[in-house]
Amino acid sequence: MKKAKIYKPSKTAMQSGMKKYDKWIIEFITDDPGRNPLMGWESSTDTYAELNLEFKSKDLAIEYAKKNNINFEVIETQKRKITKKSYADNFIK
């Protein structure tokens, strides 16, 4: 039976926009990653490890996983804490 995690990716610190980060992703978890003896790279015989599926909502991703008998774990997104600052605060202290 396949194992997967369902999550919404977080943006990197180098990006300010949130356009690409509104989709939920199913990422399959591989059980036995191995090392390639020639190059030393991590490899696997499980082709599901290379597959990421995108969905518009968390409910669609969960529905897909249940329909295809995929064991899944949902990783909830954390709320962003936005603190409003004034430019003048840089010079007060």
For residue 45, the model assigns a pLDDT of 75
For residue 44, the model assigns a pLDDT of 74
Residue reference for tokens 């990006």 = 15
* Report for 32-36, 67-71, 77-81: range of highest mean pLDDT: 67-71
Does the global pTM surpass 0.75? Answer: no
Q: 10 Å Cβ neighbour count for 30?
A: 17
CATH node for 3-92: 3.30.160
Which residues share a beta bridge with 26?
Answer: 6, 53
Closest to 56 (Cα-Cα) out of 28, 27, 22, 17: 22
Buried b (16+ CB within 10 A) or exposed e, 45-56: eeeebeeebebe
For residue 22, the model assigns a pLDDT of 85
The domain spans of the chain are 3-92
